[in-house]
Chains A and B, each alone.
Chain A
Amino acid sequence: DAGVIQSPRHEVTEMGQEVTLRCKPISGHDYLFWYRQTMMRGLELLIYFNNNVPIDDSGMPEDRFSAKMPNASFSTLKIQPSEPRDSAVYFCASSSFGSDRGTQYFGPGTRLLVL
C-alpha cells in the first residue's frame, strides 16, 4: 500500500493568496483527519470525516479554513485568504476504526509558508 499521500509537500505563498492542500487516504479507510503542527501550539486536530461526512470541525481556526471530502479517496483543506500565522506543517491521516481500533496512519505532511 502506498500509504497516505499528501500534495504538495512544500508550499510557499504570499499573504492573501488561496492555498489548497490535498490528501489521498489509504484505500478502504473510513476516517480521515486533518492536523496542523506548529512549534507554539503543537499538534492540533482541525477536522475529521467519517465516510466522507464531516464529524467534528471544532478545531478549524476560523472561516478562512474549509475542508471537503467529495469521495472516499480524496480530501482537500483550503485556506482563503492565507495569513502568515497559517504557516505550519499540515498532516492528513486516515484510519479504519472497525478493524484497527483507531490506529491512524499519517501522511508525510505539507509544509506551508505564508509570506
Chain B
Amino acid sequence: GNSVTQMEGPVTLSEEAFLTINCTYTATGYPSLFWYVQYPGEGLQLLLKATKADDKGSNKGFEATYRKETTSFHLEKGSVQVSDSAVYFCALSRDNQGGKLIFGQGTELSVKP
C-alpha cells in the first residue's frame, strides 16, 4: 500500500544551521508529494509541493526535490531560524484516491538561538 516514512525527531539545530529532514515514500505510479508545517497551537499549512518526478518545490527558503529513482522527497533549508521551529509532515496524494493525503508521522524541529 501507499506509505510515507520520515526521519524521527526531535531535531535540534542552532540558528543558521543547515537542515535536512528525510522523507521516503512507497506508492505505485506517480503520486504528488507535499511538505506541510504545523506551528505550535495551529493547524497544518502547506509549505511546498511537487507533482512529478524531478520537480523541485520551494517556499520560504525551504526546498525539496521529487526523486523517483530513490522514492524520496527530502526537505532542506540552508540556514534555519528560530521561527522555523515547528513540526514538519511529509505527505503523498494519489490521483485515484480523491485528494486523500497519506502523512508521515511528523518531525519536530527545534531551532535554538
Contact present for B43 and A108 (CB under 8 Å): yes
Tell me the smallest distance from the CB of A73 to a CB of chain B, in Å: 18
Contact present for B99 and A104 (CB under 8 Å): yes
| Chain A interface residue number, banded | 20 to 34
Contact present for A109 and B98 (CB under 8 Å): no
Interface of chain B: mostly helix, strand, loop or mixed: strand
Interface status of B103 (Cβ within 8 A of chain A)? yes
Counting residue pairs across A and B whose Cβ atoms lie within 8 Å, the total is 56
**B7-53 CB contacts (< 8 Å) to partner A:** 32, 34, 36, 42-46, 49, 51
Given A42-B105, A42-B106, A43-B106, A105 and B100 touching (CB < 8 A)? no
Contact present for A103 and B34 (CB under 8 Å): yes
From A4, A50, A101, A107, residue with most partner B Cβ within 10 Å: A101
Contact present for B98 and A97 (CB under 8 Å): yes
The CA of A50 and the CA of B99, in the complex, are separated in Å by 10
Tell me the smallest distance from the CB of B46 to a CB of chain A, in Å: 6
Chain B: residues with CB nearer than 8 A to chain A?
Answer: 32, 34, 36, 42-46, 49, 51, 89, 93, 95, 98-101, 103, 105-106
Chain A: residues with CB nearer than 8 A to chain B?
Answer: 4, 31, 33, 42-43, 45, 48, 50, 55-56, 91, 93, 95, 97, 101-109
Query: Could you jot down 20 A-B contacts, CB within 8 Å?
Result: A4-B43, A31-B99, A33-B100, A42-B106, A43-B89, A43-B103, A43-B106, A45-B100, A48-B100, A91-B44, A93-B43, A93-B44, A97-B99, A101-B49, A102-B32, A102-B100, A103-B34, A104-B44, A105-B46, A108-B42
